[in-house]
Structure 1
Amino acid sequence: MWLLSVLPAMVRVYLCGIRVLFYQLFNRSFTLPVLPKQNGRVAIVTGGVRGMGFETARHLANLGMHVVIAGNEEEEGLAAVRKIHEEGNEGKAEFVFMDLASLKSVRQFVQKFKNRGLPLHVLVNNAGIMLVPQRKTEDGFESHFGINYLSHFLLTNLLLDVMKKSGEQGCCSRIINMASATHYGATLNMDDLQSRKSYSAHGAYAQSKVAIVLFTYYLQEQLTAGGFPVMASAVDPGMVDTALYDRLCGPAQIAKKPVAKLLFRTPAEGASTAVYAAAASEMEGVGGCYLYNGKRMQSADITYKADVQADLWRRSCALVGLKEA
């Protein structure tokens, strides 16, 4: 019974991956255009100590932004900041501790940030885990759902007031949520969001990513309805050669190294669409979209269902202790 419950999710996720690899085989990685300077603007990048998160933080700092790297590995975080500063970037980088496995830590991070009185123009919700064994966060959530989605849901909502004040018409604040092609193969079980009835690492990861896309679209609807100068987009980086893929199973793990060298994007290439969404003039006033390889794409059909978006939002508010807007 356990194998039957796991196999469909695993197959769906790997089929999504194969489709992405075929695309990357025949299509060049998105090349960033010349981006306008971002002097005076402030960004937060979660998981910015390595991989795509680091490349995103690095590029935004190079454009002149003050970048706050949020993560739970202080030594690596401080090393990332030193590296960015040593490159002589025009902006500023700093590391601030935040553990996405703890809602208390998320709240403490937000309070510390707000106490400084800084504006916030860009929030890149990049951090995540993939295909880890079944475990719970400090608050009792399934780890993929809790870390990849719920903590970023809380973080975004707690920072929205600052972002609304920081943006202005013609120069909106921007929220970039890191999605994944695995969301196309996800099933969203509203009665078992914590994957307690039947756990599959592949299914749990895919579910966390479809939740992120649903959240992005519903959030944008709210922002647009309120006339707020904040835009939210979901970004799919493609398959990128980072440590996230170290937990692939069996033959996929064996094939990973040669396939990654040939077909995977580099972390810098994987970060390019997130940087584009955060800083490109062409993205001014554009939100509620799914971006892949620098282009707007259709996401999974379920992500456009308004009732599903609203239901997930209500449940998420209850889980993290937020009042519905």
Structure 2
Amino acid sequence: MSLLSLLLSAVRVYYIGFCALLQQLLRRLRPGCPFKPDFPQQNGNVAIVTGGTRGIGYHTVKYLARLGMHVIIAGNNEREGQETVMKIKEETLNAKVEFLYCDLASMKSIHQFVHTFKAKNCPLHVLINNAGVLLVPERKTKDGFEEHFGVNYLGHFLLTNLLLETLKQSGTQSHNARIVNLSSATHFVGELHFNDLQSSRLYSPHGAYAQSKLAIVLFSYWLQHLLTVEGSHVTVNVADPGIVNTSLYKHVSCPGKLVKWTLGWLLLKTPEEGSYTSVYAAVSPELEGVGGCYLLHEQRTKSLDVSYDEKLQRRLWTESCKLVGIHDTVL
């Protein structure tokens, strides 16, 4: 990758971000927007939310807890996790909120998390793969993966596959289990470099981030295909939270930070607003039995054309299975 390619990668990401902001602003100016959706009580159904201690994840957990769900926060900071649990319990009066340690940058930690969860012998009705990193400096996970690809995508790929059997056992014909994978508008400028998925050649944080978000979409669609063929009562959808005012933007360039500091109140969603699409995907009756959708502002929309390429989906799935050390016949 040349220096020009690095520059173009950044320009594409900021351009798509600008377009998303403009769309978000126009929507916000419509009468009745923004609004807080209303969903039915969940009667003790079990959910796992990765990265649920702050930002979008925190508000997702709180919303689900208010709906009466048993929510398990999967995170990599024990102290912060326990503090979050106490806070949400106090605010929602729901005692069934807990924290389990899971470092998505470590395959060993993911396996340990799944082992601990399965030891509880409880069902799993909703898995929300929310955690992520954004535009971080070049660095590797504990298993040697580029951090965007390793945490945003591969960590969730492995976690989902390890929990699939529990999800399938928990779903029924009238009440499917649901998987919600968070992506973003940057997937529209993402490219999969199969000869360099770990972005080892002249690293671009913008390109690496966009690639991870495109990978999430491709993975979601192929998994839904496999589940449909098998006849499993599990659905998979992609949630795009929009452009949200969270701490993830600490690595954004100075112009981006200036926009956040000066016009964030007008252009950016609050973390609570950013959680609505995830919650919609997790519990809305409108999506009962419906999978393979890209959801933005609580509505179905079209993702990047190439994301519907089944050969590309299949190729990524096979390569991902090799990288995380699972058989390509998990289903």
TM-score (norm 2): 0.96
Unaligned runs of 5+ in 2: none
Aligned to 2:182: 178
Cα 1:32/1:221, change in 2 over 3 Å? farther
Equivalences for residues 134-149 of structure 1 within 5 A = 134-149=138-153
> What is the one-letter code of the residue matched to 1:21?
L
User: Which has the higher mean CA deviation after the structures are superposed, 118-127 or 25-34?
Assistant: 25-34
How far the C-alpha of 1:39 sits from its partner, in A, is 1.2
The amino acid across from 1:237 in the alignment is P
> Is the Cα contact below 8 Å between 1:45 and 1:69 reproduced in 2?
yes
| SS of 2:259 mapped into structure 1 | helix
Between the aligned partners of 2:300 and 2:90, the Cα distance in structure 1 is 35
The Cα of 1:91 is off from its aligned counterpart by 5.7
* Farther off after superposition, 248-257 or 62-71: 248-257
Please give the residue correspondences for 1:230-269 in structure 2 after superposition, counting only pairs within 5 Å: 230-269=234-273
Give the aligned partner of residue 300 of structure 1.
Answer: 304
Report deviation, 1:259.
Answer: 2.4
Deviates more, 1:245-254 or 1:257-266: 245-254
CA contact (8 A) 1:215 1:309 kept: yes
Which residue of structure 2 lines up, in the alignment, with residue 12 of structure 1? 12
AA in 1 matched with 2:151: I
Taking structure 1 as reference, are residues 30 and 192 closer, same or farther at Cα in structure 2, changes over 3 Å only?
Answer: farther
**Map of 1:150 onto structure 2:** 154
Please tell me whether residue 98 in structure 1 is matched to residue 102 in structure 2.
yes
Letter in 1 for 2:104: L
Task: Please name the residue that 1:58 is paired with.
Answer: 62
Q: Distance in 2 between matches of 1:212 and 1:100?
A: 15
Residue 222 (structure 2) aligns with: 218
Which stretch shows the higher mean deviation, 85-94 or 129-138?
Answer: 85-94
Following TM superposition, by how much is the alpha carbon of 1:32 offset from its aligned partner in structure 2, in angstroms? 4.2
Deviates more, 1:71-80 or 1:228-237: 71-80
Tell me, yes or no, if the aligned pair for 1:176 and 1:234 is still in contact at 8 Å. yes
What is the aligned length? Answer: 325
TM-score of the superposed pair, with normalisation by structure 1: 0.98
Asked if the contact 1:65–1:91 (Cα under 8 Å) also holds between the matched residues in 2, the reply is no
Matching residue within 76, 81, 85 for 1:81: 85
Deviates more, 1:83-92 or 1:59-68: 83-92
Distance 2:248 2:74 in 1: 18
Q: How does 1:255-294 map to 2 (within 5 A)?
A: 255-294=259-298
Shift of 1:8: 1.1
Quote the residue 2:135 is aligned against.
131
1:204 aligns with 2:208: yes
Distance 1:91 1:230 in 2: 27
What is the distance in 1 between the residues matched to 2:246 and 2:85? Answer: 19
Structure 1: which 4+ aligned runs deviate by more than 3 Å?
29-33, 88-91
Say if 2:140 is the partner of 1:116.
no
Aligned-pair CA distance for 1:293: 0.2
2:245 touches 2:260 (CA, 8 Å); kept in 1? Answer: no
Q: What CA distance in whole angstroms lies between the structure 1 residues aligned with 2:226 and 2:34?
A: 30
Preserved contact between residue 30 and residue 293 of structure 1 (Cα < 8 Å): no
Instruction: Quote the offset at 1:25 in angstroms.
Output: 1.1
Percentage of pairs with the same residue: 54
- Residue type of the alignment partner of 1:175: I
Out of 246-255 and 106-115, give the one that drifted further. 246-255
- Is the alpha carbon distance of 1:231 and 1:72 closer, same or farther for their aligned partners in structure 2, counting shifts above 3 Å? same
Q: Would the alpha carbon gap of residues 226 and 78 (structure 1) be closer, same or farther in structure 2, given more than 3 Å must change?
A: same
Equivalent-residue separation in structure 1 for 2:212 and 2:34 (angstroms) = 25
SS at match of 1:87: helix
**Does the 8 Å contact 1:177/1:232 carry over to 2?**
yes
1:214 Cα offset (Å): 0.1
Contact residue 238 and residue 270 of structure 1 kept, 8 A: yes
Q: 1:114 corresponds to which letter in structure 2?
A: K
Cα drift, residue 254 of structure 1: 2.5
Residue 313 of structure 1 pairs with residue 317 of structure 2: yes
CA distance in 2, matches of 1:137, 1:145: 9
